[in-house]
Chain A
Amino acid sequence: MRYAKIRLLIVAGVLALPALQAQPKSAKASAAIDLSGYWVSVVTEDWRWRMITPAKGDYASIPITPGAKKLADTWDPAKDEAAGEQCRSYGAPAIMRVPGRFHITWQDDNTLKVESDYGMQTRLFHFGIWTAPGGAPGWQGDSAARWEIPRNRVGTGSVAREVEAQGGFGSLTVETTHIRPGYLRKNGVPYGSKAKLTEYWDLNRETNGDQWLVITTLVDDPEYLQEQWVTALHFKKEANGAKWDPTPCSSKW
């Protein structure tokens, strides 16, 4: 009888544990890494397709379908501009590839805001339980985000303390859907309405104090890609926004 009571108490304690531990912290408060600040894209890869608008028909490196090629072959930047569609190459699957600067801030405790100076776009990463507003898709789509906490940060042991002492580690996973169809590349390589974007944001600190943000990007598009388009980009943290240079979208340049 006595053991039965003890067993009952332990079971009750274990069952109550999640409630005791579940002190809801906001995404901002529980951030695995601090991404806030100004970041500059350092263009050391795909330079010819990012820094300048490539020629019509230049589709190197993108695993496009014949249907995508056919559509891209009809690209007409003047027509896009006249139709007010000059932001087609600044949608979520392409915006981080533009040569520009990005300003990251918290819009509120559970929404991370990423602004670009080139194209003047705003991405909103929603953490936790969030319901998309619906309606017509926008260039930046609907983004759900979550922190990925390294395994060795879990717990209260000496390993966790050591990791914390280094400033914390982890990454950000962002999944974006409901994106307005646009271009993966400035010269009209298309993505369609079913495109899905998955991103992994990692922060690496160097011994000289430099901070590098690395974004691994996966684009799935059953309509226009033969296979998942996999790329990785890097951004260097800047001390301030002195070089922030808002520039509107352009389909010609």
Chain B
Amino acid sequence: MKVSIAFAMALLIGVPAFAEIDLSGNWSTRQHQDWQDRNPGPEAVDYIGLPINDEARARALSYSASLLSLPERQCLFYPPQYVVIGPQSIKMWAETEPVTGKTIAWKISAAPDRDVITIWMDGRPHPAKNAPHPYAGFTTGVWQGDVLTAYTTHIKAGYIRRNGVPSSDQATVTEHIMRHGDTLTITALIDDPVYLTEPFVLSRSWKLDPKVQIPPTPEPCSPAAEVARLDGTGAVPHILPGANSFVNEVTKIFHIPQETVMGGAETMYPEYRKKLQATYVRPEKCIRYCCGWEGRDAVDTLKDCIGDYRQTPGLSLPSQGLDK
């Protein structure tokens, strides 16, 4: 009888359910967008679709990938916004308060070359402006319905594209983490008063997969000089203004005008398409990374794609280590 009354009362009152959904698990990457950027890497000069300013463009044009061979730079981590920019699967789990069981933080780990992101859920404030900037930045979160919204500050300077487009230590990131069944989507809005004219927004999705292996912590990294440098000790690889020999490659390969390749917020909006209509001529045939989809045939087709562009007269593009 008591049970019946309690049951009836529960129905009448309408007890609020849990205040959050479970995001924990191993989430497997799906590189069904921007495969080239996230896997072999973007072209050396390709800033299309990025709302960058002139300062960011100038820095990107001076970037040499050889910079990463310097011992002091070999173990630098990617900034936390790479959770959506990079190609990796991610692991999420909750840290709970041992007595109450209440979630005090959500954690995101991803790859050996980036730190674990901690999203504090206990209401703690962000550190003072001049506090140290750790690799993962400092992140707090709040539930908005079933969406976990996270806000990251205190980020180290880094990049927003692997070809050297910079992000500053004043950048902040707002992330909306949305789960629908076995699909996870994260939308990141990256603000940067130093290098962006408006937020750079990216959305990516993952699928729940208990079989995928994701390191819960970054791996130890030991810098080593494996190849003797020809330009002498102390040299910092760079490209001087006006000397970047890669500026025309996207135009040569994909027929995209050079001014478009230089990016800027204008290139993100639909009306820009009409601007291109007068000048763009579709290439007859794809010659680079044409069939780089994931799946059963990925390895073979990737080799085919690499082979394709090398046979094209007039193009001399650097190997990116994918032809082995």
Contact = CB atoms under 8 A, between A and B. Distances in A.
Interface in B272-288: 272-273, 276-277, 280, 282-287
A202 B285 contact: no
A214 B203 contact: yes
Interface in B5-31: 5, 7-8, 11-21, 30-31
Given A3-B1, A230-B207, A42 B290 contact: no
A226 B276 contact: no
Nearest to A18: B11
A47 B49 contact: yes
B146 A151 contact: yes
Contacts of B48: 47-48
A51 B254 CA distance: 12
A116 to B, nearest CB: 10
A48 B147 contact: no
B103 to A, nearest CB: 14
Interface stretch (B69-77, B175-183, B239-247): B175-183
Interface string B242-280: 000000000000101000000000011111110011001
Contact of B293 (A55, A61, A232): A61
Interface stretch (B33-41, B60-68, B89-97, B113-121): B33-41
B20 A152 contact: yes
Interface string A213-246: 0101010000000111111111010000001010
Interface stretch (B162-170, B228-236, B294-302): B294-302
Given A99-B270, A169-B144, A232 B295 contact: no
Interface stretch (A83-91, A106-114, A130-138, A156-164): A156-164
Nearest to B293: A63
A52 B15 CA distance: 52
Interface residues of B, number: 74
Central interface residue in A47, A150, A245, by most chain B CB within 10 Å: A47
Contacts of B287: 55
Interface stretch (A7-15, A22-30, A120-128, A175-183): A7-15
Contact of A214 (B33, B185, B283, B285): B185
Contacts of B293: 59-64, 226
A41 B270 contact: yes
B32 A230 contact: yes
Nearest to A230: B30
A117 to B, nearest CB: 8
Nearest to B46: A48
A17 interface: yes
Interface string A140-167: 0000000010111111111110010010
B203 A233 contact: yes
A229 to B, nearest CB: 5
19 contacts: A14-B8, A45-B49, A47-B49, A48-B256, A56-B284, A57-B285, A57-B286, A57-B290, A63-B295, A154-B16, A155-B17, A159-B16, A168-B145, A200-B180, A212-B201, A216-B180, A218-B183, A231-B32, A232-B33
Given A41-B270, A61-B32, A245-B271, 8 more contacts: A43-B268, A43-B269, A51-B272, A62-B32, A151-B17, A152-B18, A204-B147, A216-B185
Interface of A: 3, 7, 10-11, 13-14, 17, 40-48, 51-64, 66, 69, 99-101, 118, 148, 150-160, 163, 166, 168-171, 173, 200, 202, 204-206, 212, 214, 216, 218, 226-234, 236, 243, 245, 253
Ranked nearest first, the 6 interchain pairs of A and B with the lowest CB-CB distance are: A169-B145, A150-B145, A232-B203, A58-B286, A157-B16, A155-B16
